[in-house]
Amino acid sequence: MKKTIQLAAIACFLLLATASPAPADSASIVLSSASNGAFDYVLNAPLSGTTILNGQGVTFTGLSDVTSASVVGNLSMCFTVTSLASTSVTFLETLFSGFCTALGPNEGFVIDSTVHNLGTVDWSMQVSVGPGVEEFLTGTVPGPAGSSAVPEPSSLVLLGSALTGLLALNRKRKG
């Protein structure tokens, strides 16, 4: 009986933990546009309740062939690109000594890549939700992931060889 009660309590706890929705005032990252390898991301944050402290920021991973990155809008007064690699970019609040709360529409990040097709990119964000309380948010967003769909030269040579062989067989049968 005691074991049944324990199992029921664990099941209820798991049900409650997985059923509770994310806070409505959570910040997120949204792809606003993608054109010719320039991917514009908006920091979708509530006007109150989200504060980004000095040293906190946003990281994108799972990218492909990143060539540059920048910050747009009022966020450029707070954020800088602190890490840039072909597969990841990190933007940190390093310009303002205290915290950044000037979050509004058209605030975000631009990532440039030689890859133009969309794939799934991961993002993580560290924010302050209260005095001494940090929250780590994560999610996925469309972005430059994978490789461009260009056939390899060796594949074209193999295809050409096969076609030449088939044509030679066809001539031999007719002749």
Q: Is residue 162, in this structure, part of any structural domain at all?
A: no
Q: Is residue 92, in this structure, part of any structural domain at all?
A: yes
Q: Is residue 156, in this structure, part of any structural domain at all?
A: no
Query: Helix H segments across the chain?
Result: 2-19, 153-174
Q: Is residue 143, in this structure, part of any structural domain at all?
A: no
Exposed, middle or buried, 35 (CB in 10 Å: 0-12/13-18/19+)?
exposed
Q: What is the CATH number of the domain that holds 61?
A: 2.60.40
CA nearest to 103, candidates 135, 66, 128: 128
Q: Is residue 150, in this structure, part of any structural domain at all?
A: no
Q: Is residue 53, in this structure, part of any structural domain at all?
A: yes
- Would you write out the chain's pLDDT as a tens digit for each of its 175 residues? 544 444 344 443 333 333 333 343 567 899 999 999 999 998 877 655 567 888 899 999 999 999 999 998 888 888 999 999 999 999 999 887 777 765 666 678 999 999 998 999 999 998 887 777 888 999 999 999 976 555 555 555 555 566 565 566 566 666 6
* Structural domain harbouring 44: 23-138
Going 59 to 63 to 67 to 70, the CA torsion angle's sign is: negative
**What pTM did the predictor assign?**
0.68
User: Considering its fold, how many domains does the chain have in total?
Assistant: 1
Q: Is residue 45, in this structure, part of any structural domain at all?
A: yes
Q: Is residue 85, in this structure, part of any structural domain at all?
A: yes
